[in-house]
Amino acid sequence: MTNNFFEPQSPTPVELEVRSPLPYRLPIWRLLIPLLVQTGIILAIPARSAYTYVTGETVVLQTIPVDPYDPLRGYSQTLDYDISQLRTLQKLPGWQEVVTPKSISSDYLQPGTELYVTLSPPKNSSTQPPQAWQPVKVSRSRPTSLAADQIAIKGKSTGFSIKYGLETYYFPESRQQEINRDIRQAQTGRQQRLVVEAKVDNQGNAVPVSFWVSDREYRF
């Protein structure tokens, strides 16, 4: 006997095509702007140093090396200056204007505090090696009325000392023994002539030019 009823069939499943959302693409300008800013910052530092080197005036600073070793960048000499010491600056006119109420002692200056040290040349500036300039005044703001032969250099406090951006001198390993020998001889001598020639621009920024050990000059 023929069965007139159709057996029900399961419906054919409908396959849905699932598409992944298109990746979001940042506008090109949003990628370029941070890159340009970072590039500008990197280039600004050597550009400023070049400007200071070309336009700056030469000063000579008395130094005291502490002779560290930096394995990342080769042999180096860390230089500590007379004007880096707070006890030197405390004796100068204007120091009370620099000291802030947050100073916990006379040997401490709030980190980040900027100051300017006015330097005067020695009576005889044509000697070799050159003689160090003498600090005559300190101030919180850049001096606007300096004598014709005076220069103001800008520094920043680390708390117990002042940094001027002239603290580290890197030299090739091939000259390490020679320079250390000259430094030891200069330190054991009576005069201890260790000075740095630097260029200082009209904003107080400084770059090193040469390092004198007694009568020997090492160019930066």
Per-residue pLDDT of the chain (220 residues; tens, 9 = 90+): 555 544 555 555 555 555 556 565 656 656 666 665 555 544 444 566 676 767 789 999 998 766 655 555 566 778 889 999 999 999 999 998 888 665 656 678 989 999 999 999 998 877 888 999 999 999 999 998 899 999 999 999 999 999 999 998 877 777 777 887 887 777 665 555 789 999 999 999 999 998 888 888 888 7
In terms of Cα–Cα distance, which of 45, 68, 212, 28 is closest to 130? 212
Q: Strand pairing of 134-139 and 114-120?
A: antiparallel
Task: Summarize the chain as % helix, strand, coil (round to 5).
Answer: 25, 30, 45
Model pTM? 0.73
Q: pLDDT value at position 151?
A: 96
Using CA atoms, how far apart are residues 105 and 218, in angstroms rounded to an integer? Answer: 38
Q: pLDDT value at position 163?
A: 96
| H or E stretch covering 178 | helix 176-188
Q: pLDDT value at position 116?
A: 98
Q: pLDDT value at position 44?
A: 45
CB atoms within 10 A of CB 208: 21
In terms of Cα–Cα distance, which of 86, 89, 80, 88 is closest to 61? 80
In terms of Cα–Cα distance, which of 99, 86, 62, 56 is closest to 192? 62
Task: Give the DSSP letter string of 55-72.
Answer: HPEEEEEEEEE---EETT
Instruction: Dihedral sign for Cα 159, 160, 164, 165, please.
Output: negative
Using CA atoms, how far apart are residues 69 and 96, in angstroms rounded to an integer? Answer: 37
Q: pLDDT value at position 5?
A: 46
